[in-house]
A and B are shown apart, each in its own frame.
Chain A
Amino acid sequence: MIERTRRQFISGIGAAALGSLLNGANHFPAKAKRVIYLHQSGAPSQLDLFDPKPKLAERFGEELPDSIRKGQRLTGMTSNQKSFPVAPSKFKFAQHGKSGTWLSELLPHTASIVDDITVIKSMHTEAINHDPAITFIQTGSQIAGRPCFGSWLSYGLGSENKDLPAFVVLISRGSGRRFDQPLYDRLWGSGFLPTRYQGVKFRSGGDPVLYLSNPDGVSPRVRRSMLDDIAALNESNRKDFHDPEIATRIAQYEMAFRMQTSVPELTDLSKEPESTFALYGPDARTPGTYAANCILARRMAERGVRFIQLYHMGWDHHESVPRQLPPQCMDADQPSAALIKDLKQRGLFDDTLIVWGGEFGRTIYSQGVLTKQTYGRDHHPRCYTIWLAGGGIKRGLSFGETDDYSYNIVDKPVHVHDVNATLLHCLGIDHTRLTYRYQGRDFRLTDVEGVVRKEILA
Chain B
Amino acid sequence: MAGLRLDVEAEAKTAAIVPGDPGASRILKRINHPNDALRMPPAHLGHKRLTPSEAKLIERWIVQGAKWQTHWAFVRPTTSALSDIDAFVAARLSKEGLRMSVPATRAQLLRRVSFDITGLPPSPAELREFEKTGDYAKAVDRLLASPRYGEKWAVEWLDAARYADTHGYQVDPEKNMWAWRDWVIEAYNKNMPYDRFLTEQLAGDLLPNATLSQKIATGFNRNHRVNTEAGSIAEEFHNENIVDRMSTAGTVFMGLTIGCARCHDHKYDPISNRDFYRFYAFFNNVKEIGTGGPRDGRGNLQPVLKLPDAELEAKAEEARGRVVRQRAVLREVEAKLEKESLAWREPRWEVMKPAQLRSDNGATLSLEPDGSIVSTGKRPDRDIYTLQVNAPSNEITGFRIELMPDARFPQGGSGRGDDGKGVLTLFEVERDGGEKLDLGTVSATGQSPESILDRVVRPMRQLKRGWSVDPDVAVPYYAVVETKTMIAGGRFTIRLGNEFGEGALLGRFRISVTSDEFPEPVKEAEKSKQAFLVSHQKERRDAGDELARLQAEQRQIEQKLPSTMVMAEMETPRDTFILARGAYDKPGEKVTPGVPSFLLPMPEGAKADRLALAKWLTDPAHPLTARVAVNRLWQSLFGMGLVKTSEDFGSQGETPSHPELLDYLALEYIKSGWDTKAMIRRIVMSAAYKQSSKATPALVEKDPENRLLARGPRVRLAAEMIRDQALAVSGLLHEKIGGAPVKPYQPEGLWEQLSVIDDQKLYVQSKGADLYRRSLYTYWKRTVPPPSLTTFDAPTREFCSTRRPLSTTPLQALALLNDETYVEASRKLAERMMLEGGATLAARIRFGFALATSRLPTVSELAVLQVGFERRLAAYRANAGATAKLLEAGESPREPSLNAVELAAYTTVASVLLNLDEVITKQ
Contacts and interface: CB of A to CB of B under 8 A. Distances in A.
B302 interface: no
Contacts of B591: none
Interface residues of A, number: 102
A75 B640 contact: no
Contact of B753 (A193, A203, A212, A226): A203
Give the top 5 A-B pairs by smallest Cβ distance, nearest first: A440-B652, A217-B886, A184-B783, A217-B885, A75-B231
A5 B644 CA distance: 13
A374 interface: yes
B651 interface: yes
A50 B172 CA distance: 33
Nearest to A322: B418
A58 interface: no
A123 B127 CA distance: 65
B744 to A, nearest CB: 14
Interface in B677-732: 693-697, 699-700, 704-706, 714-716
B172 A73 contact: no
Contact of B875 (A215, A222, A246): A222
A233 interface: yes
Contact of B813 (A171, A207, A256): A256
Interface in A353-382: 369, 371, 373-374, 378-379
Interface stretch (A127-135, A265-273, A289-297, A412-420): A127-135
A75 B811 contact: no
Contacts of A233: 861, 864-865, 912, 916, 918
A236 B860 CA distance: 9
Interface string B24-61: 00000000000000000000011000000000000000
Contact of B291 (A8, A76, A200): A76
Interface residues of B, number: 121
Interface stretch (B348-356, B619-627, B796-804, B891-899): B796-804
A441 interface: yes
A341 interface: no
Interface stretch (B293-301, B477-485, B816-824): B816-824
A433 B46 CA distance: 7
B650 A440 contact: yes
Contacts of B909: 229
A52 B503 CA distance: 26
B411 A371 contact: yes
Given A217-B885, A440-B651, A210 B231 contact: no
A236 B917 contact: no
Given A130-B229, A373-B411, A1 B640 contact: yes
Given A226-B911, A369-B419, A440-B650, 10 more contacts: A1-B705, A77-B231, A128-B233, A131-B229, A184-B783, A184-B784, A194-B806, A210-B747, A215-B818, A215-B889
A76 B645 CA distance: 40
A2 B823 CA distance: 30
A96 interface: no
A128 to B, nearest CB: 7
Interface of B: 45-46, 169-172, 225, 227, 229-234, 240, 257, 260, 268, 291, 381, 410-411, 417-420, 462-463, 501-503, 585, 639-640, 645, 647-648, 650-653, 693-697, 699-700, 704-706, 714-716, 747-749, 753-757, 782-785, 787, 790-791, 793, 796, 798-799, 803, 805-815, 817-820, 823, 858, 860-861, 864-865, 868, 871-872, 875-876, 879, 881-889, 904, 908-909, 911-912, 915-918, 921, 923
Nearest to B471: A369
A143 B240 contact: yes
28 contacts: A3-B807, A76-B232, A131-B229, A165-B810, A179-B463, A181-B756, A182-B171, A182-B756, A182-B783, A184-B784, A185-B784, A192-B805, A209-B814, A212-B814, A213-B818, A217-B904, A225-B908, A233-B918, A236-B858, A243-B695, A252-B812, A253-B915, A322-B418, A371-B410, A374-B418, A379-B231, A439-B647, A440-B268
A3 B806 contact: yes
A183 B704 CA distance: 39
Q: Is the interface of B mostly helix, strand, loop or mixed?
A: loop
Contacts of A132: 227
> Which of A3, A5, A178, A211: most chain B Cβ within 10 A?
A211
A407 to B, nearest CB: 18
A455 interface: no
A221 B875 contact: yes
Contacts of B756: 179-182
B747 A207 contact: yes
A259 B871 contact: no
A76 B875 contact: no
A322 B918 CA distance: 61
A379 B812 CA distance: 40
Contacts of B916: 230, 233-234, 237
Given A2-B805, A182-B783, A217-B882, A441 B798 contact: no
A253 B920 CA distance: 14
A186 interface: yes
B814 A237 contact: no
Contacts of B915: 226, 230, 253
A4 B640 CA distance: 12
A27 B882 CA distance: 53
